[in-house]
Structures are given as structure tokens and as C-alpha cells.
Chains A and B, each alone.
Chain A
């Protein structure tokens, strides 16, 4: 079914329409003539070409005929009474719009899920002996200034320096403040972490980190299974 035919039918039977390209019906005879001419040429596209300058066409032009719309039959099937301005998509080109939509969705998904948190780690020394130490190292052996952080089985910190007594620090921040204080008041560059085997690994890391933050050059870990 050609557009011309359909529109003609619409104008005859349907409600009055107000589209720009609506036929008025007054050129019905011309329509039929043009159609027969095109059919005789048996070429639909030639039918759709604009009017040429041969005298017969000029005659039609003068009467107000604007030529037949150039559009493919498939689109016409979908057209309603109200004519929308439709852009022609050439058939040999792929419509990329859905693909782009999906690609953007994927892009957003991977952007959101991508985690840029790189693996961070601390270098720690190898354990020297197989068994946890059971004898307390005498303090006299340590010549250098040092800060010692003990972690007991209940995850409580005790900060000791060579010159001061043991201070109990139940929380991480207290321990950090205490070590910072001790560092400021001494020239200690050595941090000894002595942890009970039942203390949390996180506590040891906190103590180690405190040492790193306070510029301790030498950090060592001792573990013990003796209760404090």
C-alpha cells in the first residue's frame, strides 16, 4: 500500500487531520494519474523523484502538485494520521543507539564496582625461634633508649620506657598518645612490641603502626604465652 493511497483513504473517511503533508483531496485525479505514470515505468523510486521540468510536469506544478513524498513503503505502514517528522535511517547502516545505551550502562557498572584500594602491607621480620619466649629479657641488656609496648591477653596496652614506669592504656588512642609523648621526651629509636599469644593481631599492627608514625627505626615483635 502506498502512502498516497492510504492518505487519500484517510482524507475521505477519517476525521479531519491537521498534519502538514496531509492531502486535501482536491488533487485526487492528479494522484491517480501520477500513480499510473509511475506504474508504467515500473519503478517506484522514479515515481518518487521530484517533478521534472518537462511541460507536462510543469502543468501539474502550476496546479499546486508538489510531487510524491519520497519515503519507503515500510515506514508508511507505521504512520498514523498525525505525521511526525521522521528521519530516514539508511538501511545499510546499523542503528547504534541501543548498543551505546548498553555500553554506557556497563561502563557505569564497572566504574562503580571498580575498587582502587590497592593492597597495602607492612614488612615484618621473620620469627627467630620456633617457640614463644618464656624468659623475660633482662632490661640491663638493652643499652639503647627504647620504648616498649606490652599487649596482654585482654588486649590492653602497657607502655614502658627506660626511664618511666609502666602505664596502662586501655585504648588505642591512649597508647598512641603515650608513645608519642615518650618519643618526644627521649631519643628512643627502638620500639619493642611484646604481645601475648592470645592478643589480637590488630593490636600488634596498631602498635607497629604507632612506631612507624613516630619515626622509630627499629621495631621488633616478641610474643609470649606468659600472662602479664
Chain B
């Protein structure tokens, strides 16, 4: 039996004359877009921090920073919560106490994070606009207690506005 042309590959059925649009490429593109937006959109509750507004800011990738969040209670301005890391959960909240213990805890956290993640090169403080200046300074002093933190840049999160 010679290599005959009897055997043919099954042809894709596509009736071009039946006036129907071929939607396959459109679906392909749609799925690509869908995948893109799924990856891009992040659902973390970072909008909860009302950052102060400024006209200019640097873009610092969140994941390359050790993040600290400072928020103030809506009704009680004296109630301030400091969170270690990007999530605002009870586990990551620094317990209330005197400034020294809080500074120490911040220092330890920054030191551990910087040592554990070599990609993290800076410290990002996301402080709400209504937090008192003294609190932000306290957090900065806490960062300064960490040996590694001393040599890293400190960034303060802002919301850009025109």
C-alpha cells in the first residue's frame, strides 16, 4: 500500500455561506481581557484608609515595601490603631500600650520583615489624614529602632489629586 491520498485530515466544518459570524476569535479576545482584569483587580480593603491628598507622589510598589497602616476611629479621634502589614485584621493590630512598647513592636516587626524578605527595600507608612502628627512620628521612630530599617527609605502613603 503506497502512501495514498485517500486518508484526509478531518476538515473543520465551517459554512461560510450560511451568513453566520464566526465568534471564536471574539471569545478568545474576551477571555484574554477577562483574565487580564481578574489579575489586575485586587480586592483588598486598602480603600479603608483615607490617605491625605497631595499633587505629586512617587509610585512605590506595595509588595516591595514593609507596610504599616495607621488609622483613626471614625467617632473617637483618640482611638488609633496601628497595623503591621497590609491587612487590617485583629491579628496584625499592635495592641494599645505606652509609646515605648509600641515603638519596640514596630521595630521588631520591621526588622523581621526586612530580614525575611530581601525584596522589600523600603518602609511604607499608610497613615490616614486625621491621624495626629505625633503618632506618625512615633511610627517613624519605631522604624528607626530597627537596625535594618534605619538604612531604608521611609515612604508615606498619599492619594494623588489634581
Contact = CB atoms under 8 A, between A and B. Distances in A.
Interface of A: 87, 90, 96, 99-100, 103-104, 106-107, 110-111, 113-127, 130, 132, 151, 195-206, 208-209, 212-213, 223, 225
Nearest to B132: A198
10 shortest interchain CB distances as A-B pairs = A120-B57, A197-B134, A202-B129, A110-B37, A202-B52, A121-B155, A209-B54, A205-B52, A114-B41, A195-B133
A200 B130 contact: yes
B41 A110 contact: yes
Given A120-B58, A124-B154, 16 more contacts: A100-B23, A106-B34, A113-B41, A115-B47, A116-B40, A120-B57, A122-B54, A200-B129, A200-B130, A202-B53, A203-B133, A204-B136, A205-B52, A212-B55, A223-B137, A225-B134
A204 B133 CA distance: 7
Contacts of B137: 127, 132, 197, 223
Contacts, number: 147
A199 B133 CA distance: 6
A110 B34 contact: yes
A117 B59 CA distance: 10
Interface of B: 13, 20, 23, 27, 30-31, 33-34, 37-38, 40-43, 47, 52-62, 124, 127-137, 140-141, 143-144, 150, 153-160
B34 A200 contact: no
B65 to A, nearest CB: 8
B54 A208 contact: yes
Contact of B133 (A96, A111, A198, A212): A198
Nearest to A130: B141
Contacts of B129: 200-202, 205
Contacts of A107: 30, 33-34, 37
Nearest to A113: B41
Given A107-B33, A121-B156, A122-B54, A127 B131 contact: no
Contact of B27 (A96, A119, A127): A96
A104 B52 contact: no
Contact of A201 (B42, B133, B155): B133
B160 A122 contact: no
A219 B153 CA distance: 15
12 contacts: A100-B27, A104-B30, A107-B33, A119-B61, A120-B60, A124-B140, A124-B154, A126-B140, A126-B143, A127-B144, A202-B52, A206-B53
